[in-house]
Chain A
Amino acid sequence: MTSARTIAIRALALALASIACLPGCRKNDRRVLSVVGSTSIQPFAEMLAEEYNGRQDELDVEVQGGGSTFGIRAVTDGIAQVGMCSRSLKPEEQFTAISIARDGIAVVVHPTNTVDGLQLAHIRALFSGQVANWRQLGGPDRPVRLITREEGSGTREAFVKLVMGKERISRQALTQESNGAVRELVQHDPAAIGYMSLGLVGQGLKSLKVEGAQPTSQNVINGSYPLVRPFLFVVKGQPTADARKFIDFVLSGEAQGMLEREGLVRAK
């Protein structure tokens, strides 16, 4: 009886102690640097943060998603020191932007689709709903199923800017909330066409040639692949000393090499 109670009290004390410890004694009192924003940049930033956290014991870089616009808002409100933004800044967004890499936007279809490449005008016609059947572009006799990203997504905004111009994306387009969800749909639907970060395409999808250029890192570098957007780190005014350290690491040759191996293209 007594011993059971003692054990219970000890367990409780231990639990309380560990809760009390959570914010304070994590990893020898490192300072936290929060990096928040685009879900397209997030996996790459997480990889870099893990590497960076492992090699020094001063800073603890924490990466969170939420979207480009959310990242910018977080920086504005001071919730995060660094925002991640996967599109060019709008004129009203007055921030210091540091380009950490470039990323192509791949236009992806089901592997069985016989269409191999499209002109920008074709992609625009598809996504605005003017072309409703793959036959019109030399493909199989199948209705076109458009897959787009949600309003406010950096990938969507970059796609609209690079491809759509003044045209609207069709109302019929299915809306998915992440690169992964787009890939999942396109992978299993022979009629689908979507767009996503080139670095995240992976296996099981067919990326179309755009204006005759394959979506490869090389073609992004030499400028022949037209759908390219910047990956930006955004700070308010000057970066803080902590932010500066992490940014310097991200821009170092080694980190840039890591990004390159993951399918991105070096910052200019």
Chain B
Amino acid sequence: MKLDKFIRVVLLLVALSGVSGLALMTAFIFKEGLPLMVRLGVADFIFSSQWYPSEGQFGIAPMIVGSLAVTAGAMVISLVFGLGCAILLTQFCPPRLATGVIKPCIELLAGIPSVVYGFVGVTILVPFIRDYLGGPGLSVLASSIVLGVMVLPTVTSISADALRAVPRSYREGSIALGATEWQTTHMVMLKAAMSGIVAAVILGMGRAVGETMAVIMVAGNPLAMPDSLLSPVRTLTSNIALEMSYAAGDHRKALFATGVTLFVIIMILNTIALAVSRRRARRAGL
């Protein structure tokens, strides 16, 4: 009994240390970044597009737009391919092929370091876009594709789990009523698994918004606002990583403020997505 209690306390401490790490980090980022944001005016900081640290001008509008554009592109790509793959794995594919070949291959993608994605992107994808589609090659499109492939394993495996978790009776009932397999899939299975699929998208989005290394390599990182899929772009994360090692004084604080903005954006995205998935789940009666 005593041992039981002891272990419970130890585990509680371990769990709390993880949470307190998060709390400390949040407090630190806000402490470093927020004063500068308030001094410059939060609206000015967020909506101005003048980023000239040496002149004391800090405006991150193009980077916010950049992060959102790249993430949206990545989610479109990973949703099309990830969800397609999850449907194939759970609905149409012989189980042996699914669990023996396709699933491990996709999970392997998650183990590749991001710098490798960036390198492949910059040596293969970027010249391809430059030669065939125009622009500098380093672009929103290139970043979206690289990020889309990077988050593919997350989106695929979580949506596949969600589809697998739908009770067997749903599928059997639908087939028994005369629906074809595809009708069953998109009218019954996808609807029933929607909350899980939204969760997959949230997690993928979290990774895409926060990814840095691969994006720095393929995005081009100019200060200008991106105006097409082919224009280069600077994201919030790459802004921080590019300039962190050099920054001092207000510049450094502005980078922390960029971090604060990123933090808030991720919180907003997650809250929206969670709310959507809860409402869907309630409506579906699950």
Binding site for B on A (CB under 8 A): 66-70, 73, 145, 150-153, 168, 171-177, 181, 184-185, 188-189, 191-192
Which residues of chain A are within 8 angstroms of B216 by Cβ–Cβ distance?
177
Contacts of A70 in B (CB 8 A): 245-246
Number of B positions contacting A (CB below 8 A)? 25
User: Is the beta-carbon distance between A150 and B243 smaller than 8 angstroms?
Assistant: yes
4 closest A-B pairs (Cβ-Cβ)?
A: A152-B246, A175-B221, A171-B224, A171-B223
Residues of B within 8 A of A150 (CB): 221, 242-243, 246
Q: Smallest CB–CB gap between B81 and chain A, Å? A: 28
Instruction: Show 5 A/B contacts (Cβ-Cβ < 8 Å), sorted by A.
Output: A68-B246, A70-B245, A171-B223, A171-B224, A174-B138
Interface code B11-52, partner A: CB below 8 Å = 1, 0 otherwise?
Answer: 000000000000000000000000000000000000000001
Question: What separation, in Å, do the CA atoms of A181 and B243 have in the docked complex?
Answer: 15
Interface: B253 (CB within 8 A): no
Structural contact, B223 and A152, CB atoms closer than 8 A: no
A-B contact count (CB 8 A): 63
Pick the contact of A69: B122, B137, B248 (CB < 8 A): B248
Pick from B54, B122, B136, B243: contact of A184, CB under 8 Å: B122
Within the assembled complex, what's the spacing in Å between the Cα atoms of A191 and B251? 32
Given contacts A171-B223, A174-B138, A174-B222, 10 further A-B contacts (CB under 8 A): A150-B242, A151-B246, A151-B247, A152-B243, A152-B247, A172-B222, A172-B224, A175-B220, A188-B127, A192-B136
Q: Mark B50-86, 1 if CB is under 8 A from A, else 0.
A: 0011100000000000000000000000000000000
| B residues in contact with A176, CB < 8 Å | 221
Bound Cα distance from A178 to B212, whole angstroms: 16
B248 proximity list for chain A (CB < 8 A): 69, 73
